[in-house]
Structure 1
Amino acid sequence: MSVRRAALWSLAAQYATFSIQFVASVVISRLFLLPADVGLFSIALAAAMIVSIFQDLGITRFISGQPQMSPAALPHYAAVAVSIGWSVAAIVALAAPFVAHFYAQPALAPLLWLIAASYLVTPYATVPAALLVREMDFRTLFQVNAGSALAGNGTAIALAACGFGASSLAWGVLATAVARAAIANIHRAVRPRMPENTASVRPMLGFSSMSFVLSASAAIGHRSQDLIVGRVLGIAATGLFSRASALAGQLTTLVTGAIGSVFYSAFARKRDAGEPLAEPYLHLVACYTALNWAAMVGLALAAEPLVLLLYGPNWIGSAPLLRWTALGEIFFVAIPLQMDVPLLLGQIRRLVWVNLLDTCAAVAILTAGCFIGLEAAGISRVVYGFVWWVIYALYLGRLIGFRFGALMSVYARSGICALVAGGPLMIALWQGMEPGMLALLLLSASGVLAWLAALAATRHPAWKEVRMMAEALSRPILSRLAG
């Protein structure tokens, strides 16, 4: 499958998954659950996912990034994944009462037990999904991701409607894991089999030893957010913070999340061919920032009316948090594949130290913000975003060898396009307009048209990709009409 065709299928998966998750979050938040319910689940999930760093141990990256792969070793990799997953499930289950006691919330324990049950199933999808990425079979991966999202979110909505409260979200996590493992194995079954000795899995374990430290650092920095907010500001504040972070993160994933997985495989091929990565990396940055910056500017501008329209007045406290989180995302998407590219280039040891610095900054900045207040916690995302960008821009600049002048040129054009895209909404809000859903949609559509015009006018590198994607999508339709 070509890179652009793979990107189309990957984008389709991202759009489908986002749509399902987005609709579910709106329905559940508006009709069934309060911020305190979502906050309770967010703390349980964050606590469990910090432990789950043991689960993958870089197996997915190892399989998808290797120049050559022995089919005989795949069952052994799957067995290692299952063994680790079951160990993680046991740790989460045993830790549940202690976490509930630490937060003085007895209801946390059953939520953690349900999430632990999902870790018994999740590893059965690890190797099959990694093989699909390696083979760039994103059409099948679409079925895996979209199907599991539909099963999990459908379960969560149904149980929330029946009055299950926060536990409906935990049951949704379990249903997602079961569906993902089932669909992945239907298409690319790999039966786990323990190796007679460690020879077949030694390369993977060697990679995983450093990958674990890397994953641990990243998990602490990312997953500790809800834990810190919950401990300092309370359960309801955690729900508001989590909902804002989730919406901004989902939009980022929707806009460009699919591109990363495709380019990871493409960069691996360029590495194997000995080709330089600086030029294609800057092109990737251009695509990321062109799409994401425009989306984040729009999200920041429309934060308050969007929260009221989607989630209702109970969630209005998340609007300022959403605004700051969206602005912070502008930095986080400005240096894409910040962990994947160093791994492909064999720089895992140095990456570990860089990531540890990043983690320390994340925890310290958010903690300081939380002690000031909830909105300060949101502002801290912008501060941390800038620090994050400095760390990884300097690191990848030296590693890949791209020129900072070229990087700033890309940023300048993406920034102009983002401001132009937000122009219609800026004008409407400046005139005191309180847009409803229809008005927001029309203003967004106007922003997209303005953004496309700005891409063409500035000769942005992403304009070529937009035209080629449009041609690829329209070609089958035109051929049918011609036939």
Structure 2
Amino acid sequence: MSYLKKSLGLSFATQYTEMAIQFIGVMFLARLITPEEIGIYSVAAFLMAMLHVFRDFGVGKYLIAVEELTPERIRSAYGVAIILAGAIALLLYSSAPLVADFYHEPRVADILVVMSASFALTPLGGLLTAIFRRNMEFKKILIVRVTSSVCHVITAVTLAIQDFGALSLAWANFAGILSFGIAAMILRTKGTPFIPSFKKMREILSFGSINSLGNLVGVLGTNGPDVIIGKVISLAASGYFSRANGMVQMFRTLVNGAIVPLVLPYFSQLRREKGDISQAYRSAVEYLSVFAWPFFTVIGLLALPIIRVLYGLQWDASVPVVQVLCVAGAITSLTTFAADVMIAHGKVGQATVSQVLTQPVRIGAILLASPFGLVAIAAALVLAECYTAAIISRRLHAATGIGLRGVLRSTFKSALVTLCSAAGPALVMWAFMNSEHAWLELVVGGLSALIGWLIGIVWTRHPVRIHLYQAHQWVATRVRG
């Protein structure tokens, strides 16, 4: 358990350091790049995200989940990754003019050309970080990701100041991937092979083909709104929705981004050691929900001051979208770990079926709601997430025996903590109704939410209180010297 706490601590340190760097960058970029330019980049980024599924082809997860990781398997993984990355880079480059014509926006083509070069570089560090995750070497991941984030933000802000617009984000992505790969190569364990081979290609492709199908459908459902909105409504509307969705996805940056990299390695190891995956899963959901549900509730209540403080008045149209999407985020948190747990349990097919059954419903809901505006699209996504949670829970039960009823019982205390957290911000927003003091609303509302959260933790005797107390003791000991 001590190694898990240490890994979790390093993972959170990585995530929050990276978040702080990106936060500074976003504060600048929101004032340097227009909503339309953000929309243009979002369309191009969707295509890249979709093709990224085939570039990775589940190779990283294969390296983590495989029972015995041999040098030959690592070399074969490199061979598969290089071939796929090169092929996808060429496809992205050749499709750039067609995508630009479809959206009647020539700037999309320039972004896709830069992104194709980024694609070719991805095997440089992607597989090494998968090996770092398998071995729980999160200190190395911290160094690699922070290095990449610094290069990304510096490049983006520098080029945005020079009026590169949306293209500055594409070049920033290129700089981030290049620095990521260089840092990973420097930190790799001595003797780790990197000369490609193809002897185990069939084994890797067998795993990856199933995993990638699920990932592809997942990307289509997750990033579909940007593409559909950009075509059906406008690229500016896509920018507003992208900004709102980015606010809601902050939880992935704050918490999920630190926890999820541990999930597959941890549950894979637990399976190899014949541990109780069911109990571990329920505990994981219990801990996640006590952070996720208060987070989404408070973000929804304080959406207006948050948007104005972070991005400025020009993004006010994103506020109602944020508030509705927070409901979807809270529902999603119930199944955040499900796919990786199924893969760790040797049921990669069940994880894929879950995506195939749910993501087309998301896309259909977006298409049906798109003529009615951004808020309607967000509401449709809430309904889609309810359906998704039901389907994934059923598949999870079939694969591992973990039932939805037991999972929901484990979140009862988290629900009470959420109510305590929401009381203060709700009162603040009522008291400051129609106020122009966004900073004051945000500070007072945020502090009251934190106090309410802590009161709720103590009142309900939530299991997380033990770890908070241990953290407090550790800090107090260090302060005293």
**Which residue in the other structure is 1:449 paired with?**
451
**Which residue in the other structure is 1:128 paired with?**
128
Retained in 2: the 8 A contact 1:417–1:454? yes
Query: Structure 2 matches for 1:29-48, cutoff 5 A?
Result: 29-30=30-31, 32-48=32-48
Q: 1:437 aligns with which of 436, 439, 442?
A: 439
Q: Deviations over 1:81-127 (max 9, x none)?
A: 12211111101000110001111111110011111111111111121
Report the residue type matching 2:321 in the other structure: L
Aligned partners of 2:235, 2:441: CA distance in 1, in Å? 34
- How far the C-alpha of 1:364 sits from its partner, in A, is 0.7
Aligned partners of 2:351, 2:407: CA distance in 1, in Å? 21
Query: Structure 2 matches for 1:126-275, cutoff 5 A?
Result: 126-188=126-188, 192-195=194-197, 198-275=198-275
Aligned partners of 1:351, 1:405: CA distance in 2, in Å? 20
**Which residue in the other structure is 1:424 paired with?**
424
Retained in 2: the 8 A contact 1:149–1:176? yes
- How far the C-alpha of 1:363 sits from its partner, in A, is 0.4
Q: Deviations over 1:125-156 (max 9, x none)?
A: 12110111011011110111111011112110
Structure 2's unaligned 5+ residue stretches are none
Aligned partners of 2:93, 2:65: CA distance in 1, in Å? 33
Aligned partners of 1:369, 1:146: CA distance in 2, in Å? 39
Retained in 1: the 8 A contact 2:121–2:178? yes
Q: Structure 1 residues 121-130 or 18-27, which shifts more? A: 18-27
Retained in 1: the 8 A contact 2:305–2:441? no
Retained in 2: the 8 A contact 1:233–1:374? no
**Which residue in the other structure is 2:29 paired with?**
28
User: How many residues matched?
Assistant: 476
Retained in 2: the 8 A contact 1:256–1:292? no
- How far the C-alpha of 1:9 sits from its partner, in A, is 0.5
Aligned partners of 1:468, 1:256: CA distance in 2, in Å? 22
Aligned partners of 1:297, 1:379: CA distance in 2, in Å? 16
**Which residue in the other structure is 2:8 paired with?**
7
**Which residue in the other structure is 2:343 paired with?**
343
Cα distance change of structure 1 residues 359 and 128 upon mapping to structure 2, 3 Å threshold: same
Retained in 2: the 8 A contact 1:78–1:126? no
**Which residue in the other structure is 2:293 paired with?**
293
Residue 465 (structure 1) aligned with residue 467 (structure 2): yes
Q: Deviations over 1:184-208 (max 9, x none)?
A: 111016564232xx43333222211
Q: Structure 1 residues 266-275 or 91-100, which shifts more? A: 266-275
Retained in 2: the 8 A contact 1:57–1:211? yes
Aligned partners of 1:67, 1:48: CA distance in 2, in Å? 31
Aligned partners of 2:395, 2:205: CA distance in 1, in Å? 26
Q: Deviations over 1:192-233 (max 9, x none)?
A: 4232xx433332222112122122211222222211111111
- How far the C-alpha of 1:377 sits from its partner, in A, is 1.3
Cα distance change of structure 1 residues 381 and 18 upon mapping to structure 2, 3 Å threshold: farther
Aligned partners of 1:180, 1:208: CA distance in 2, in Å? 23
- How far the C-alpha of 1:403 sits from its partner, in A, is 4.6
Cα distance change of structure 1 residues 185 and 362 upon mapping to structure 2, 3 Å threshold: same
**Structure 1 residue matching 2:275: 3-state secondary structure:** coil
Aligned partners of 1:57, 1:467: CA distance in 2, in Å? 42
Q: Structure 1 residues 177-186 or 376-385, which shifts more? A: 376-385
Q: Deviations over 1:301-327 (max 9, x none)?
A: 111121122211211111111111122
Aligned partners of 2:87, 2:471: CA distance in 1, in Å? 44
Identity %: 24
Cα distance change of structure 1 residues 403 and 205 upon mapping to structure 2, 3 Å threshold: closer
Aligned partners of 1:277, 1:115: CA distance in 2, in Å? 39
Retained in 2: the 8 A contact 1:9–1:142? yes
**Which residue in the other structure is 1:283 paired with?**
283
Report the residue type matching 1:25 in the other structure: V
Aligned partners of 2:446, 2:440: CA distance in 1, in Å? 10
**Structure 2 residue matching 1:67: 3-state secondary structure:** coil
Cα distance change of structure 1 residues 416 and 87 upon mapping to structure 2, 3 Å threshold: same
**Structure 2 residue matching 1:226: 3-state secondary structure:** helix
Report the residue type matching 1:10 in the other structure: S
Q: Structure 1 residues 169-178 or 16-25, which shifts more? A: 16-25
Report the residue type matching 1:456 in the other structure: V
- How far the C-alpha of 1:473 sits from its partner, in A, is 5.0
Aligned partners of 1:468, 1:66: CA distance in 2, in Å? 35
**Structure 1 residue matching 2:411: 3-state secondary structure:** helix
Cα distance change of structure 1 residues 474 and 188 upon mapping to structure 2, 3 Å threshold: farther
**Structure 2 residue matching 1:339: 3-state secondary structure:** helix
Retained in 1: the 8 A contact 2:396–2:403? no
Aligned partners of 2:217, 2:125: CA distance in 1, in Å? 24
Report the residue type matching 1:143 in the other structure: I
Aligned partners of 1:270, 1:251: CA distance in 2, in Å? 26
**Structure 2 residue matching 1:454: 3-state secondary structure:** helix
**Which residue in the other structure is 1:88 paired with?**
88
Aligned partners of 2:14, 2:153: CA distance in 1, in Å? 15
Aligned partners of 2:196, 2:429: CA distance in 1, in Å? 61
Give the TM-score taking structure 2 as reference length. 0.95
Q: Deviations over 1:345-378 (max 9, x none)?
A: 1212232222111111110111112122122112
**Which residue in the other structure is 2:116 paired with?**
116
Aligned partners of 1:159, 1:191: CA distance in 2, in Å? 37
**Which residue in the other structure is 1:66 paired with?**
66
Cα distance change of structure 1 residues 405 and 224 upon mapping to structure 2, 3 Å threshold: closer
**Structure 2 residue matching 1:334: 3-state secondary structure:** helix
